[in-house]
Amino acid sequence: DYVMRLTDNQGADDVIVSVPVAAVMTEAATLMKRDGMLVFFAGVPNGTYAPLDLSMIYLHNAQYTGTSGSAIEDQATVISKTLEHKLSPNRSVAAVGGIEAARDGVAAMMEGRYPGKVVIFPQISGLPLTGIDELKEKLPEVAQKLAPGDVWTHEAEAALIERFWES
């Protein structure tokens, strides 16, 4: 109630949760503006589940994000190396899916089903969780845009979005 009164019932632009308690995380999402950002920064233990309304993501461009708790200097080093093209975050993408695959994506992450990151595209509908290694068989037009070694690329992302985009 306090946050809503202060923001004329709009909610906060950014909500940062620094308590590893599922109920607090769920409540924090209700304090956020429709297109706001919810940041989990709390050393949340593996296996922690919190019910969250994902419709804010695909209806209003809200963002939910988390961090490993790395030091600011470490995060700055990673960003610097990425900008200098010395580090490719795309190398760690192991699976992709559309909005309906979000729950399966979280489960896959918790179970360690993939050896890297799971990327969910909220603007895509109808794409089940798909391993990068499955793309050649299931989505060859996307697979041919991967870099050598089956590394995710911006071109593969564009091909994926083009394939599933519904206007």
Q: Give a yes or no: residue 147 inside a domain.
A: yes
Q: Please state, for a pLDDT cut of 90, what percent of the chain lies above it.
A: 46
Residue 94 shares a structural domain with residue 159: yes
CA distance 69 to 35: 24
Please give the pLDDT value at position 19: 76
* Final residue in a domain of this structure, among 36, 66, 96: 66
Residue 55 shares a structural domain with residue 93: no
How long, in residues, is the chain? 167
Statement: residue 167 has pLDDT above 70:
no
What's the domain range around 130?
88-164
In the chain, the number of structural domains is 2
Cut 0.75: pTM above it: no
Residue 97 shares a structural domain with residue 148: yes
CA distance 135 to 53: 29
Beta bridge partners, 17, equal 40
- Residue 12, domain CATH: 3.40.50.720
Q: Give a yes or no: residue 49 inside a domain.
A: yes
Residue 57 shares a structural domain with residue 12: yes
Q: Give a yes or no: residue 22 inside a domain.
A: yes
Average pLDDT over residues 151-157: 95
DSSP percent split of the chain into helix, strand, coil, nearest 5: 40, 20, 40
Q: What's the CA angle centered on 34, arms 62 and 90, to 5 degrees?
A: 5
pLDDT tens for each residue of 51-110: 888 888 888 988 888 766 667 787 788 778 878 877 777 888 999 999 999 999 989 988
Please give the pLDDT value at position 86: 79
